[in-house]
Amino acid sequence: MSTLVKDLTELLSSEQVSTNETVLHQHGQDESYHEVAEPEVVVFPKSTEEVSAILRYANEHCIPVTPYGRGSSLEAHVIPYSGGITIDFALMNRILSIRPEDLLVVVEPGVSRLELNEALAKHGLFFSVDPGADATLGGMVATNASGTTTVRYGVMRDQVRDLEVVLADGTVMNTGSLAAKSASGYHLNGLFAGSEGTLGCFTKLTLRVYGIPEHVMAARATFNTIEEAVQAVTTVLQVGIPIARVELVDEESIRQVNRHDEMDFEEKPTLFLEFHGNEAGLKQDVEFTTELMTDAGCQSIQFETETAARNHLWEARHNLAYSYIHSNPGKKMMVTDVCVPISELSGAIHHAREQLEAVGLVGGILGHVGDGNFHALVMVDMNDAKEVELSNQFNESIVHYALSKNGTCTGEHGVGIGKQKYQEAEHGEAYHAMKLIKKALDPNNILNPGKIVKVD
Amino acid sequence: MSTLVKDLTELLSSEQVSTNETVLHQHGQDESYHEVAEPEVVVFPKSTEEVSAILRYANEHCIPVTPYGRGSSLEAHVIPYSGGITIDFALMNRILSIRPEDLLVVVEPGVSRLELNEALAKHGLFFSVDPGADATLGGMVATNASGTTTVRYGVMRDQVRDLEVVLADGTVMNTGSLAAKSASGYHLNGLFAGSEGTLGCFTKLTLRVYGIPEHVMAARATFNTIEEAVQAVTTVLQVGIPIARVELVDEESIRQVNRHDEMDFEEKPTLFLEFHGNEAGLKQDVEFTTELMTDAGCQSIQFETETAARNHLWEARHNLAYSYIHSNPGKKMMVTDVCVPISELSGAIHHAREQLEAVGLVGGILGHVGDGNFHALVMVDMNDAKEVELSNQFNESIVHYALSKNGTCTGEHGVGIGKQKYQEAEHGEAYHAMKLIKKALDPNNILNPGKIVKVD
């Protein structure tokens, strides 16, 4: 047994410290195509005090520490390329309190979003951020996750009211309060949300929740061109219709779903929409939306209010990723994630489609079009050096286009390792300021080193 | 002419540098009761380059720099207690671009919110944050201003998409991009918004704007007790009715307005509400709200849609501060600004009312009740040491109550000097982290020294 493992076993208990090969391997990967790298040891703390003890120890001995939720990240956030200790928050998974009057919950970082939603439903409440995967809430705050509902309810950072954070040296602090707004101190909630474990480990999260909407209506609308679909969404947002979700799927991807799932969706650029509100308001929103979309060139539009019918209407969108994965056995999915101002979205998608055709890889485009965030999916054989190189070139070309339009290299997947190389190009002098902050809060660079900022 | 003034005149031009006594005096105060302190010199830069040159110079010579908008702050943010240079952004007041498709504007920091709204109206757009005063947008970002519409549209920080910032050493950087969402880098937008000029000076702001709502409806509702009024708002928010404004005014303040303005508003705790949306949706929202409020003990409720009638309905709320000021000549208004979780709001207001009666000063209570933020106004004769002491005790008692309920000492007015003494009590270990950030970004402590954090 190494000194490290022995010391950690003394700080915790033997069943909370693992060097089991399967456990190490599981904590050496995420859901992405990035290279596997294992930690030296995985620990499973049960309390803030234990997390603090681990960090104090690691800081004294300059041992890298990587926090881990469920490993559903897509840019290698949780892969410990410098080895050291991985902290798995699986045992810190209690919902500590639900405060319906304050529309707040307090949870430990290991609770997943579906677990939370199950508990909230009894109170007529729901948690709004839906990144697809059933990630832990700690991981979702760490990566500033978002998804289909962001156009209405905001990103993960917008839901954070307070975080209990353990800093590199073991200090425990709170980044916020329970007040709905504050002009006190620096905005540490915002700084720590999205910091990907590089500034501290979260041990308690106070998050905003919402009342389940009275009525929900889903829609699917087809267009002849992506430009028309994007223009339709722009107009609807401009007049202030509060769409809850609006997703774009290109015709290539609809074709893929039809082929794989034996469906017969119309093979055109398609918008999937959802509206939340009261019955009368939704009716008027839907009428106005139909009018605006028709003016923008909409070819067909269908609405559904019943849950089953709504789900059926959205099926092509939901099945998209799996359809690509199952149709391409042995290949890994690489996903781009740029976000551009919405006025630049048509152009950016057009460019992505051209590049996709140029590299000749199988793939499609889908977008959280209300935010200007879109994904180009490509299926890559990771053992084929040429395919890997082409997919990297493709990703780079998409990123450079987005940056040239004053967009960002990552709308929601985060930096991790995959987008590290674009940080300086995107942030310029601000990247230097980020390094100063990292150095000030983690002088020994033990916290998820190499992610977001590279310090010397 | 001092060396400082001579050097600045060389960097800028003589008409951009002032040591005129009236100018110095104007820049030595804000709208609050705080002590006056004049800068050594006031400069009026016209460009980012000039701001950068001023800061580079000040940093080399360790001269304090205080940024200044229109001096409407309430906690002495702009008062240069360490002397040095005040940068007045009056000449950087251009609206650089309006992007209706992206729902964004780019402005210089000296543009005021009413100037912006005038320009936006032509495009069917509006800027949502309304702190009362016609402050500059630079100042509003610096203090993370908010106000009556925050319950629906968020605080100033929520509107910031990008800031061009000049750091202490003259470096120019951008904190964001034009993308609606981003998971790239640390969240510098959030860190710099609300930093009160202590981390950098803003030279360009990219801000979010909204489509003017199709329909607006105003309401006024009276209750027998503040508890019932707060409970009514809690219920309405919990079911997700998207109120655009909801203000509480206590009966003492209604009485004050009646007396001063010869009105006959019912002298009961009163809610002033506003709803934004489509016509059918508003109708249903209003019906549901009436039902919920009646269940919560509402005694009377009136609705208006026409602009003039809406304004009349809200008159008592709008006139409140002036009514107190004009009825108490020679006295200054001191305003508390705590924010608590909404479940604690009734208790906090009850406590404030008790304290107000105990100290025996003239005053009233009004609140942005949807956010849990309320103000207790007291009229103070600043030459009467006893009154000043009582009002300070009153303020402290309100703050300590709020902190004991996990609230904040300031919901929207900011820290400045007035709330500096509560920073350590409110933030605990996080206050230390804030100091580390301040030292990392402004090692010579030249930027608005003594505000928010005190560094050695």
pLDDT tens readout for residues B11-20: 999 999 999 9
CA distance A216 to A249: 21
Kindly determine whether residue B280 and residue A281, on different chains, have CB atoms separated by under 8 Å.
yes
Test mutation, B278, B344, B451, chain A, max A CBs within 10 A? B278
ipTM: 0.96
For residues A408 and A338, is the Cβ–Cβ distance under 8 A?
yes
pLDDT in tens, B256-285: 889 888 888 999 999 999 999 889 989 999
Kindly determine whether residue A437 and residue B441, on different chains, have CB atoms separated by under 8 Å.
yes
CA distance A3 to A1: 7
Pick from A280, A402, A426: which is nearest to B283 by CB?
A280
CA distance A371 to A411: 9
B234 Rama class: left (phi>0) / alpha (psi -120 to 50) / beta: alpha
Confidence check: pLDDT of B32 > 80: yes
- Sign of the four-CA dihedral A98, A101, A103, A104: negative
Kindly determine whether residue B406 and residue A178, on different chains, have CB atoms separated by under 8 Å.
yes
Q: Extract the residue ranges of chain A whose pLDDT is less than 70.
A: none
CA distance A325 to A320: 9
Give the burial class of A1: count Cβ atoms within 10 A of its Cβ; 0-12 exposed, 13-18 middle, 19 or more buried: exposed
User: Helices (H), strands (E): how many in chain A?
Assistant: 17, 18
CA distance A30 to A35: 9
Q: Is A431 strand, coil or helix? A: helix
CA distance A235 to A388: 39
- B28 contact partners, CB below 8 Å, separation of at least 6: B36, B37, B38, B39, B79, B80
Tokens representing B173 are 């950087």
For residues B292 and B221, is the Cβ–Cβ distance under 8 A?
no
pLDDT in tens, A109-135: 999 999 999 999 999 999 999 998 999
CA distance B304 to A34: 59
At residue A157, what are phi and psi to the nearest 5 degrees?
-55, -35
For chain A, say whether B167 makes contact (Cβ under 8 Å): yes
pLDDT for B316: 80
CB < 8 Å to B414, chain A: 183-184
How far A260 CA lies from chain B's nearest CA (Å)? 32
The two beta strands, B41-43 and B85-88, are: parallel
Residue B178 CA, chain-centre distance (Å), reads: 25
Window 356-375 of B, Cβ < 8 Å to A: 370-373
Q: Where does A147-303 have alpha helices with state H?
A: 150-153, 156-159, 188-192, 226-238, 251-261, 279-295
Burial A18-51 (b: 16+ CB within 10 A, else e): bbeeebbebbbbbbbbbeebbbbbbbbbbebebb
- B41 contact partners, CB below 8 Å, separation of at least 6: B2, B4, B5, B8, B17, B18, B19, B24, B84, B85, B86
For chain B, say whether A67 makes contact (Cβ under 8 Å): no
Q: How many CA atoms lie within 13 A of B326 on its CB side?
A: 10
CA distance B285 to B303: 12
For residues A334 and A395, is the Cβ–Cβ distance under 8 A?
yes
Tokens representing B25 are 């005096």
List domains and CATH numbers for chain B. Answer: 3-88 (3.30.43.10), 95-211 (3.30.465.10), 213-327 (3.30.70.2190), 331-444 (3.30.70.2740)
- A269 contact partners, CB below 8 Å, separation of at least 6: A222, A223, A224, A225, A226, A228, A229, A248, A249, A250, A251
CB < 8 Å to A194, chain B: 183, 186-187
Residue A158's identity, in one-letter code, is: D
pLDDT for A233: 94
Which secondary structure element, helix H or strand E, spans residue A365, and what is its range? strand A363-368
pLDDT for A22: 97
Q: How many CB pairs under 8 A join A and B?
A: 315
Length of chain B: 456
pLDDT-derived band at B236 (thresholds 50, 70, 90) equals: very high
How far B80 CA lies from chain A's nearest CA (Å)? 19
Confidence check: pLDDT of B321 > 90: no
CA proximity to A364, closest of A394, A320, A416: A320
CB < 8 Å to A277, chain B: 281
Query: Look-up: residue for tokens 């997700």?
Result: B240
Length of chain A: 456
- Sign of the four-CA dihedral B418, B422, B428, B429: positive
At residue A430, what are phi and psi to the nearest 5 degrees?
-65, -25
- A240 contact partners, CB below 8 Å, separation of at least 6: B210, B211, B212, B213, B214
Could you give the strand order of the β-sheet that contains B104-107, starting from the edge strand earlier in sequence?
A: B95-99, B104-107, B201-208, B160-166, B172-174
CA proximity to B24, closest of B7, B6, B39: B39
B255 Rama class: left (phi>0) / alpha (psi -120 to 50) / beta: alpha
At residue B433, what are phi and psi to the nearest 5 degrees?
-65, -40
DSSP assignments along B389-435, one per residue: HHHHHHHHHHHHHHHHTT-BS-SSS--TTTTGGGHHHHHTHHHHHHH
Query: Look-up: residue for tokens 């103070």?
Result: B380
CA distances from B59 to A50, A115, B28, B416 (A): 43, 52, 22, 21
Window 380-439 of A, Cβ < 8 Å to B: 402, 405-415, 419, 422-423, 426-434, 436-439
- Give the Cβ contact number of residue B455 at 10 Å: 14
For chain A, say whether B20 makes contact (Cβ under 8 Å): no
pLDDT for A439: 98
Window 297-336 of B, Cβ < 8 Å to A: none
CA distances from B251 to A94, B103, B256, B332, B357 (A): 44, 40, 9, 22, 14
The two beta strands, A363-368 and A243-249, are: antiparallel
Which secondary structure element, helix H or strand E, spans residue A137, and what is its range? helix A137-142
CA proximity to A281, closest of B236, B280, B288: B280
CA proximity to B219, closest of B176, B180, B270: B270
What radius of gyration do chain B's Cα atoms show?
A: 22
Q: What percent of chain B has pLDDT over 70?
A: 100
CA distance A71 to B102: 34
For residues B246 and B307, is the Cβ–Cβ distance under 8 A?
no
| Mean predicted lDDT score pLDDT of chain B | 95
Long-range contacts of B172-176 (CB under 8 A, 24+ apart): B172/A429, B172/B48, B172/B52, B172/B203, B173/A427, B173/A428, B173/A429, B173/A430, B173/A432, B173/A433, B174/A427, B174/A428, B174/A429, B174/A430, B175/A430, B176/B206
CA distance A340 to A399: 10
CA proximity to A65, closest of A169, A147, A180: A169
Pick from A341, A415, A439: which is nearest to B102 by CB?
A341
Tokens representing B421 are 């003494």
pLDDT for B293: 95
In sequence order, the β-bridge partners of residue B378 are B334, B363
Could you give the strand order of the β-sheet that contains A85-88, starting from the edge strand earlier in sequence?
A: A17-18, A41-43, A85-88, A65-68
Instruction: State the average pLDDT over residues B311-332.
Output: 86
Q: Is A375 strand, coil or helix? A: strand
